[in-house]
Structure 1
Amino acid sequence: MTFKTTGTALAIVPQVGSLDSYIQGVNSIPVLSVDEERSLAIDLVENENIEAAQRLIMSHLRFVVHVAKSYSGYGLPQADLIQEGNVGLMKAVKRFDPSVGVRLVSFAVHWIKAEIHEYVLKNWRIVKVATTKAQRKLFFNLRKSKKRLGWFSHDEVQAVAADLGVSSSDVLEMESRMSSQDQTFDLPVDNDDGSAAFAPAQYLEDSASDLAEGVSGAQWQNQANTRLFSAIKTLDERSQDIISARWLDDGSKMTLQDLAAKYNVSAERVRQLEKNAMKKIRSTMGEL
């Protein structure tokens, strides 16, 4: 097993091999004594000695394996759980203060579990079962209780709720989330067309595929355009030019000042002509 450093961060890069070989390897690493651990921690804090950090991490890898094994019931790869726990261990070593007077293992356990918890919640279900801090605590405590109690009865729900300090409805809600299974959105790729199978995608309405509605909408738009241009043709030539320049040209629209200069009138007069033309267009379209 080798180490690599990036800035102040540490990353453990295990050599290729089986998980059993890895576990045997970390179990063979000697455990540090109290004095050795304190000396290395002081060296790391005062001198930022990377080798001291490496020794602290290596001597506690067996503890990460021990913690990760307690999460084997979640159906996630043991190697991934250990890897996430190692990340938590490295974060703990970086933040460990030897002057407090506690062993590193007591401080690191919280960081190790935090990283494993985050990984479990992200990967146990496609849809997250717990998002708030209270729900996360309930999720992991409920998992421990489920191993002991199986399916909850009414009395067991009350007992778990009282033990965890939450409501019965919270316990039932989390139990239903934990008991649910992920379902594919589309039909399985190996589905036979002749077999009876349903997927959520089959119940979605595709509004774009409504041919009748599409044809009806296109006809209405064509009719509206025809009526509009017919109404514009009832205007005098100057009013038609003003409406076209202000609203219908694909390029940049002309301003009131531009049209005022073109027809040698005031901008206010152009505004009045535009307003009267729009009013006549609306009236004519209502009659068509």
Structure 2
Amino acid sequence: MESNSRSSMIRAAMKAPYLAREEELELAIQWKENRDQNALHKITTAHMRLVISMASKFRHFGLSMSDLIQEGHVGLLEAAARFEPDREVRFSTYATWWIRASMQDYILRNWSIVRGGTSSAQKALFFNLRRLRAKLQSGPENLSNADLYRQVSAALGVNEADVATMDARLSGPDTSLNAPVMDDSPGGTDRMAFLVSDAPLPDEVVTETIDTERRSQWLSGALSALNPRELKIIRERRLREDGATLESLGERLGISKERVRQIESRAIEKLRTALVNGNPHMAASA
């Protein structure tokens, strides 16, 4: 179906009459000054050969020829909208840049799921690397990859590392995450399985961090309600990983272990009251 549509489009383009310079100029003026749709149709139809010719130059990127022609037609219309007849430049010369730019942008957006070639230097590298590589390799010298990258880098004004990266990208297509890890085991583990992470999700990490900070602030405020001896007992008994025993703490403070227990119980009650009074969420649930 697509092949028939493309063939019809090519036949129609080839039948369209060529425009003389004077006729082309007159049509461009009619479109620019009067927005004459018939003039626009004639000038774009006459230049569809240019679109088809340029699309054929990009066919090795593996994209639909019909889609390339369609994108080129968009560039042709853009050229018609921006063309200045009084500059005395042939429309085909002006339109060539817009047609090529439209097709190249389409290729960069659809050739790979990884976006690349955003700068002018990167675009030049993407569209010229294969041609330059083939030209250099056809010479009498047996160049290594390092030599090729160095010469391409000098020719296009990009870093050698960028040349190597682009060469790796162009050397193979995108790989599906649903494809099996081993080609000979279609029922085996696919690549998606290796993307699973046991680490907490970002929102969980943020929530835990915020909650921890809040709890630290609440506890710090509640501890200020204790007197020095109560604070020492709570720190030694509750806030250390290896909490002190009642007996050892009593010996250090010069009191019995039962007295240490009583002070600890009273301090815990004071902490609970301070936390409830200072935290509306705890007060609501209390």
What TM-score range do you get, normalising by the shorter chain?
A: 0.5 to 0.7
Once the two structures are TM-superposed, the CA of residue 24 in structure 1 deviates from its matched residue by 0.9
Counterpart position of 1:206? 198
Change over 3 Å in CA distance of 1:242–1:160 after alignment to 2: closer
Counterpart position of 2:82? 95
Give distance in 2, aligned partners of 1:233 and 1:160.
74
| Pairing 1:53–2:87 present | no
Give distance in 2, aligned partners of 1:74 and 1:85.
15
Which of 269, 272, 275 matches 1:234? 269
Counterpart position of 1:20? 7
Which stretches of structure 1, 4 residues or more, deviate above 6 A after TM superposition? 191-194, 230-233
Contact 2:108 2:115 in 1 (8 A): yes
Give distance in 1, aligned partners of 2:65 and 2:136.
25
Q: Which amino acid aligns with 1:178?
A: L
Q: Which amino acid aligns with 1:126?
A: I
Q: Which amino acid aligns with 2:149?
A: V
Give distance in 2, aligned partners of 1:112 and 1:168.
30
Counterpart position of 2:282? 248
Change over 3 Å in CA distance of 1:245–1:95 after alignment to 2: closer
| Pairing 1:179–2:171 present | yes
Once the two structures are TM-superposed, the CA of residue 75 in structure 1 deviates from its matched residue by 0.5
Contact 2:76 2:98 in 1 (8 A): yes
Q: Which amino acid aligns with 1:248?
A: M
TM-score calculated relative to the size of structure 2: 0.64
Once the two structures are TM-superposed, the CA of residue 71 in structure 1 deviates from its matched residue by 0.2
Once the two structures are TM-superposed, the CA of residue 193 in structure 1 deviates from its matched residue by 7.9
Residue deviations 1:35-66, cap 9 Å, x none? 10000111112212122111111111111000
Once the two structures are TM-superposed, the CA of residue 243 in structure 1 deviates from its matched residue by 1.7
Change over 3 Å in CA distance of 1:25–1:244 after alignment to 2: same
TM-score calculated relative to the size of structure 1: 0.64
Change over 3 Å in CA distance of 1:245–1:159 after alignment to 2: closer
Q: Which amino acid aligns with 2:269?
A: T
Once the two structures are TM-superposed, the CA of residue 92 in structure 1 deviates from its matched residue by 0.1
Give distance in 2, aligned partners of 1:202 and 1:195.
16
Contact 1:129 1:177 in 2 (8 A): no
| Pairing 1:168–2:160 present | yes
Change over 3 Å in CA distance of 1:41–1:236 after alignment to 2: closer
Contact 2:177 2:190 in 1 (8 A): no
Contact 1:91 1:111 in 2 (8 A): yes
Equivalent pairs counted in the alignment come to 217
Gaps of 5+ in 1: 1-14, 209-226, 252-288
| Pairing 1:135–2:122 present | yes
Give distance in 2, aligned partners of 1:62 and 1:143.
26
Counterpart position of 1:157? 149
Once the two structures are TM-superposed, the CA of residue 171 in structure 1 deviates from its matched residue by 2.0
Give distance in 2, aligned partners of 1:236 and 1:70.
78
Counterpart position of 1:77? 64
Residue deviations 1:81-101, cap 9 Å, x none? 000000000000011011001
Gaps of 5+ in 2: 201-237, 239-264
Give distance in 2, aligned partners of 1:146 and 1:236.
75
CA RMSD in angstroms, aligned pairs only = 3.6
Change over 3 Å in CA distance of 1:64–1:78 after alignment to 2: same
Give distance in 1, aligned partners of 2:199 and 2:158.
45
Contact 2:133 2:148 in 1 (8 A): no
Give distance in 2, aligned partners of 1:16 and 1:175.
31
Give distance in 2, aligned partners of 1:193 and 1:156.
37
